[in-house]
Amino acid sequence: MHIVVFASRKGGSGKTTLAGHLAVEAERKGAGPVALIDVDPQGSLSDWWNMRQEETPIFVSTTLARLAENVETLRTSGIKLLVIDTPPSLSKIVAEVIRLSDLVVIPTRPSPHDLRSIGATVELVEQLNKPLVFVLNSATQRARVTAESIKLLSQHGTLAPSIMHQRVDFAASMIDGRTVMELQGSKRASREVGELWEYLNQRLTGAARRPVLPALPKAVEAKRSESETSLSGAA
């Protein structure tokens, strides 16, 4: 059984939405049985699952005291993937969940506030010696801030090659317990989720190659070239 934990100190990063979507996508792609655990007191993932009509993925209610025991029960019962959503904090419960993980996914939006907040989460994950993957979430296509966020994140760790763009479909699908893969006319959003799951699955199974990041807009490339030329002249 593989355990994927979604963690971020910053609220609103998209942890819950990504956790639900990737759990459903993993089940759809034959990586199940998949189980979900929500340790966020706000219970957003739990609320989404209670609205869901499909029986999969399954949901497991637990407490911090019973978490390790429940995880082992799931492992022996044949669950292949466990997805855990955490609160936006660096509390004891987040540390305990990360300690159990095989991979930590850190979603972040392309904004200065979000990018500044990832440092403490990265530090905690590294202290616990766990692999991590950044996921750029709610990005705007062809925006300079998106390109600059890609550069920054890739300098501080592994960035998933599939960028999740700002789309109304993601919020709309979560209202009634569905995902974009289960909505009509959400092909682009569905493709992004599928590509992200494919990459994370490769990471979990050890088959992932070095990610190929999206090409930077010409304006950002030109700015970088000017900087490199200036440095060269100074030398």
> How far is CA 177 from each of CA 15, 26, 44, rounded to the nearest angstrom?
15, 16, 11
**Per-residue pLDDT at 207:** 57
- Contacts for 170 with CB less than 8 Å, ≥ 6 apart: 14, 17, 21, 164, 180, 189
**Contact assessment for residue 93 and residue 65, using Cβ atoms and an 8 Å cutoff:** no
Instruction: Name the nearest CA neighbour of 125 among 162, 164, 156.
Output: 156
Work out the mean pLDDT of the chain and round it to a whole number.
Answer: 85
pLDDT for the residue numbered 149: 87
User: Who's near 53: CB < 8 A, 6+ residues apart?
Assistant: 177
Phi–psi pair at 42, nearest 5 degrees:
-65, -30
Q: What residues in the chain have per-residue pLDDT under 50?
A: 208-235
Task: Count up the domains in the chain and report the number.
Answer: 1
Q: Residue 180 has what DSSP assignment?
A: G
Q: In this structure, what token pair is assigned to residue 221?
A: 């490339």
Can you give the pTM of this predicted structure? 0.84
The CATH number of residue 216's host domain is 3.40.50.300
Give which of 47, 36, 45 is closest to 70, Cα–Cα. Answer: 36
- Structural domain that includes position 191: 2-234
Give the pLDDT of residue 59: 96
Give the H or E element holding residue 36: strand 34-38
Share of the chain above pLDDT 90, in %: 54
pLDDT at 229: 33
Give the pLDDT of residue 221. Answer: 41
Q: How many CB atoms lie within 10 A of CB 154?
A: 14
